[in-house]
Amino acid sequence: MRLSDDEARARLAASGHGVLSTVHPDRGVDAVPVVYALDDGWIGVPVDTVKPKSSTRLQRVRNLETDPRAALLIEHWDPEDWSRLWWVRAELRFEGAPGSDRTTGLAARLADRFPQYRDQPFARIIGLRVVGLCGWAAATG
């Protein structure tokens, strides 16, 4: 069953982990697992200093600077009960660095949601505006 916009947004807000897809200029779709927070129609994806990485200039950021389109897919899988299957896809747009108020709100949401981010160890927060939502669930409720 197709999810209403309100139900899709509620599931997006309740989740905190998904797969972010950006567009690589040569390879095409570039999908990576991410944590995120939703705040007032914006998704914040941290570029943190918690997990080891060779640089904070991540490929997903370079992709977004070249092509601002992105999608975030979240889903619930239950191999025992397929009536509990659902997914939500958020269509996103990168619009450069978000303003300081937006960044502060997204950082606070991430810190509230994930204990690893309580001290806000962010090199950057990628701000993506939600421009579309769709979703599906095997059953209502």
User: pLDDT per position in the chain (141 positions), as tens?
Assistant: 999 999 999 999 999 999 999 999 999 999 999 999 999 999 999 988 766 667 667 899 999 999 999 999 999 999 999 999 999 999 999 987 777 898 999 999 999 999 999 998 888 899 999 999 999 999 876
44 by DSSP, 3-state: which?
strand
The pLDDT, as a whole number, for residue 27 is: 93
Would you say 26 and 109 are in contact if contact means Cβ atoms under 8 Å apart? no
DSSP state of 49: S
What CATH number is attached to the domain comprising 131?
2.30.110.10
| Domain of 28, in residue numbers | 5-137
The pLDDT, as a whole number, for residue 80 is: 94
Q: Considering only CA atoms, which of 72, 70, 65, 109 is closest in space to residue 87?
A: 72
**How many domains, in total, are found in the chain?**
1
92 by DSSP, 3-state: which?
strand
Please tell me the distance from the alpha carbon of residue 112 to that of residue 114, in angstroms, as a whole number: 6
The pTM of this model reads: 0.91
